Amino acid sequence: MRHVLGVLVENQPGVLAKVAGLFSRRGFNIESLAVGTTEDPTVSRMTIVVEGDENVIEQVAKQLNKLIDVIRVADIAKDSVARELALIKVHTTPATRNEIIQIVSVFRAQVVDISKDSLIIEITGDQDKVSALQEMLKDFGIKEMVRTGIIAVDRGNRLIKNNNFKEE
């Protein structure tokens, strides 16, 4: 099963390597990993998509928690807001350009660059939406594609904070 983990870590060099190393040596499968700073500049937040059953996810969370640089690990709920951004450079001809632009607008994606024989499309959404657009564009010829991996935030009052060590 796919799980999305939100991981707060110290914003320090070497932390990403330690987290990535942990996954590889323990044989956990990362589907994607996205990392960036948070509202607190000393803290970074990683969003890690992991494949595995409950036992695996529990081990992943526990092993992550053993890393001194890891502040907090949370399993983000299925109904969370999860988004991914992708840039897709697709091959165009005068005959296909309009059709592609129509598809893009159906997906509420954007054309961010245009040239004689290609378009760059920016799309934001959950993984399925990005994959669906990719599927639609496949036959036109995708020259290059890059995806950020998912970032996710729980809805409502559920927060991942580094100070919520309260009794549960």
Partner 1 sequence: MKITGAQAVVECLREQNVDTIFGFPGGAVLSIYDALYDAKDITHILTAHEQGATHAADGYARATGKVGVVIATSGPGATNTVTGIATAYMDSVPMVIFTGQVASSLLGKDSFQEVDITGVTAPITKHNYIVKDAARLPDIIRKAFQIARTGRPGPVLVDIPKDVQNTVIDYQKIKVNTDYISEDTFHPHFYTKARIEKSVNEAVEAINRAEKPVIYAGGGVNISQASRQLVAFAEKIKAPVTCSLMGMGAFPSSHPYFMGMVGMHGTRFSNYAVSNCDVLIAVGARFSDRVVSKVEKFAPNATIIHIDIDPAEIGKNVNTHIPVCGDVKKILEKLMDMVDEKAPNGWNKQIEEWKKAHPVKSRPAKGKLTPQFILEKLYQYTKGNAIICTEVGQNQMWTAQFYRFDEPRTFISSGGLGTMGYGLGAAIGACIGRPDRRVINVAGDGSFMMNSTELATVSRYNLPVVQLVLNNRSLGMVRQWQKLFYNGRVSYSTLGAEVDFIKLADAYGIKGFRLTSNGEVDDVFTETFNLDRPVLIECVIHPDEMVYPMVPPGAAIDEIID
Q: How far is the CB of 129 from partner 1 (least distance, A)?
A: 35
Q: How far is the CB of 77 from partner 1 (least distance, A)?
A: 19
CB burial of 22-45 (b: ≥16 within 10 Å; e: otherwise) equals bbeeeebebebbbbeeeeeeebbb
Taking the least distance from each CB to partner 1, the nearer of 65 and 105 is 65
Q: How far is the CB of 54 from partner 1 (least distance, A)?
A: 10
Cα distance between residue 168 and residue 166, in whole Å: 6
Taking the least distance from each CB to partner 1, the nearer of 67 and 120 is 67
Taking the least distance from each CB to partner 1, the nearer of 116 and 166 is 166
Distances (CA, A) of 35 to 20, 26, 82, 83, 123: 12, 21, 14, 13, 19
Question: What residues make contact with partner 1 under the rule CB under 8 A?
Answer: 14, 17-18, 21-22, 25, 55, 58-59, 62-63, 65-69, 165, 167-168
